[in-house]
Amino acid sequence: MKVLVLGVLVGLLVLFPLSVYLYVRLGFLSLATTARPLPLEEFLAKTALHASIGSAADRKNPLAPTEENLLAGAKEYRDYCAVCHGLPGQPKTPFAAGMFPPAPQLLEGPSMVTDDLDGATFWKISNGIRLSGMPRFDTMPESARWQLTMLLKNADKLPLPAQAILRQPLAMPR
Ligand code: HEC
C-alpha cells in the first residue's frame, strides 16, 4: 500500500510539471493579444495587484482639489495617458484598441475609477502594472502624479476649462 501511495505521489510530482511544460511548449499558451484569457488569469492578476498595493491604498491626496490642480492634471493626462486611456467622446487610439489586457478608458463610461481610493490610483501611476502594458511614471514629480490621481477621481465632474483641454483631439494615426 505504502509503495502504491509513493508511486502515485512521485508520478504526480513528475507529471504535473511535465504537462505544464508540454502545454506551453506545444503552443497552447498563446501570447497573442487576441487570444482568450487563460484560466484564472484575471483572478490571479486582480488578487496579486490588490496584495501588491496593500496599505498604500490608504494614502490620501496631499493636494487641495483646486481648479489649477485639475487643469494641470488634464494637461499631464493628455501628454502621458490619453494615448492608451483615451479622451472623452473620441474613438480609441490604435494603441488602446490593440492592447491585452485592454487599457480602461478612464474619462468616460463604466471603466472610470472615480470610486477607487486615491492611494490605490497613485500607487498604480507610480509603480505601473506588470504584464499589462501599464507603465510606471516614477520619473514624473510626485505632485504631478497626485494631480493625475485627482483628475481621475473627479473625471465625472471636471471644471469646464479642464474639459476643454481634454476635448481637443489627439494628433494620432487612426
Ligand atoms: C501604453 C499604454 C498605457 C499608458 C501610456 C498608460 N496606461 Fe494606465 N493602464 C494601461 C493598461 C493596459 C491598464 C490595465 C491594467 C490591468 O488590466 O490591470 C492600465 C491601468 C491603469 C489604471 C488602473 C485602472 C483600474 O481600473 O484599476 C490606472 C489608474 C491607470 N492605468 C492610470 C494611468 C495614468 C494616469 C497614465 C498616464 C500618466 C497611464 N495610465 C498611462 C495602459 C497604459
What is the number of the ligand 1 atom nearest to the C-alpha of 149? 35
CA of 158 to the centre of ligand 1 (A): 20
C-alpha cell at 62: 496631499
Residue ranges of the chain with per-residue pLDDT less than 50: none
Ordered domains of the chain (ranges, CATH): 64-167 (1.10.760.10)
72 lines ligand 1 (CB under 6 A): no
User: Is the preceding peptide bond at 94 cis, omega within 30 degrees of 0?
Assistant: no
Residue 7 has a pLDDT of 84
Report DSSP state, residue 136. Answer: -
On whether the CB atoms of residues 59 and 119 are closer than 8 A, the answer is yes
CA of 121 to the centre of ligand 1 (A): 9
Residue 174 has a pLDDT of 61
pTM of the model: 0.92
C-alpha cell at 150: 485627482
C-alpha cell at 9: 505521489
C-alpha cell at 2: 505504502
82 lines ligand 1 (CB under 6 A): no
Residue 37 has a pLDDT of 87
Residue 28 has a pLDDT of 87
Residue 4 has a pLDDT of 85
